[in-house]
Amino acid sequence: MHMLKKITVNQLQLGMHLKEFCGSWMDHPFWRTGFVLTDPTDLDLILKSTIKEVWIDVSLGDDVPEGQAAMCEEALIPAEQVQKLELPVVPHLLRDTTPVSAAQEIERAARICQESKAAVVSMFEEVRMGNAVDVGGARQLVEDISDSVSRNPGALISLARLKTADQYTYMHSVAVCAMMVALAKMLGLDEAQTRLCGMAGLLHDLGKVAMPIEVLNKPGKLSDTEFTIIRTHPAEGFRMLKFNADINPAVIDVVLHHHERIDGNGYPDRLRGDQISLYAKMSAVCDVYDAITSNRPYKVGWDPAESLRRMAEWAKGHFDPTVFQAFVKSMGIYPVGSLVRLNTGRIGVVTEQSAGSLTTPIVKVFFSTKSNMRITPYMLNLSLPGSAEKIFQREDPDKWKFPDLNEMWSGLSSPG
């Protein structure tokens, strides 16, 4: 039986098996957990980090010295029980989830995006080499993404959209994780369910590590044979995770069924309607939205508002209507980054959703169509009482080709 103990980092010694860090994964220098400490440099790095406590597995490595107590005797429980409980990596009271504006969250979100991409690359690489998914590291990653979404949903979700085509698979996992968390909150799911949704989003495309790289990154339309290969990625992901007792079955279900459609025309099992789980219905919406708004090797991403409009047209056969409506509420009719024309003839970009309504976001106005010139940018909250200005229509970014559009709404010169 695996036995875990929670100890302070000062009790850590070489030869101990480090099961999990207690704290944000960005606060320590390791992506992987679950290894025996053998390198003094690793021990030194942990002691210099802000991590104060860790879990060790005394059945796989050294125990604390005789006469030295663990932090509490209750911590000495079977590993299987710990996994079932899914102990929070950071106590909720110590986590920062206080709502802030998009401007306040954007830099923090950019750091999380950057670090998340590196973590997902490492995680996928470990799986490619035949190792099991590091659930401890993945759970910590989900917590940090979830906390950013709690502080401001638009910041990280929007930044994750600004991925380059070659990093699509990795950042897509981060983006879908964040959107799944936001959608779970909108649907009123509890914290444990929300965490599962985030984990499902993070791992949903794991099977793509088994896809030939030349097919995955092909800069043109896939042939029928290549498309048949790509369509095997849910089953490949399922094969990789199905015997992993650390992964919740609901997460594995999303890995297998995120390409199912309500009308039964999805894959791999052609499930219909309520044969598809709630989490898989959610992942179908988040997966498609990020796919069509992102730059891919074969096409430029669509404008966020235009993407929602097209998804609404597909919704009848493709998506669960209740889930899709909740998704639109979580994103806004004009998501962050949407280019819009006001009734005054001025053009702006949506920087944040307002508390008012789905159609009255906060817009950074920067162009006059009457004079066909840039104007000094200013912020406009369309939800304020008495606001005479309103959105007249969506605008096509391809038509205007503003080179600094993303910088305009994010305030960052090189986000993501």
Contacts of 57 (CB under 8 A, 6+ apart): 2, 3, 4, 17, 19, 34, 79
d(CA 208, CA 174): 15
Given the DSSP bridges, would you call strands 17-22 and 53-57 parallel, antiparallel or unpaired?
antiparallel
User: Exposed (0-12), middle (13-18) or buried (19+): which is 399, by Cβ within 10 Å?
Assistant: exposed
Spatial distance between the Cα atoms of 261 and 263, rounded to a whole number of angstroms: 5
pLDDT recorded at residue 82: 46
Instruction: For 22-76, write each residue's pLDDT tens digit.
Output: 876 666 666 667 789 998 988 988 888 888 888 898 889 999 998 888 875 444 5
Give the model's pLDDT for residue 147. Answer: 94
Token digits for 80? 């299987």
Give the pLDDT score at 29: 60
- The C-alpha atoms of residue 79 and residue 3 are separated, in whole angstroms, by 6
Q: What is the pLDDT of residues 85-140, one digit of tens each?
A: 344 444 444 578 899 999 999 999 999 999 899 899 999 999 999 988 988 889 98
What's the CA gap between 278 and 265, in Å, rounded?
A: 17
Per-residue pLDDT, 37:
92
Helices and strands (H and E) in the chain: how many:
16, 10
Q: Which residues of the chain register pLDDT less than 70?
A: 1, 24-32, 72-94, 413-416
Per-position DSSP letters for 168-217, written without gaps between them: HHHHHHHHHHHHHHHHHHHTT--HHHHHHHHHHHHHTTGGGGGS-HHHHT
Superfamily of domain 94-331: Hypothetical protein af1432 (1.10.3210.10)
Contacts (Cβ under 8 Å, ≥6 apart) of 130? none
pLDDT at 88: 43
Residue 293: CB partners within 8 Å, gap ≥ 6? 161, 301, 302, 303, 304, 307
What local confidence, expressed as pLDDT, does residue 21 receive? 80
User: Angle formed by the axes of helices 168-186 and 278-293, to 10°?
Assistant: 130
Domain ranges of the chain: 3-85, 94-331, 339-407
Q: Give me the torsion for CA of 198, 201, 202, 207, rounded to 10°.
A: 150
Distance, in Å, from the CA atom of 128 to the CA atom of 240, rounded to the nearest integer, reads 10
Q: Which amino acid is at 122?
A: S
- 10 Å CB burial of residue 106 (0-12, 13-18, 19+) is buried
What is this structure's pTM?
0.82
Query: For residues 312 and 324, is the Cβ–Cβ distance under 8 A?
Result: yes
Task: Quote the tokens at residue 401.
Answer: 């080709």
> Which two structure tokens, joined as six digits, stand for 9?
């980092």
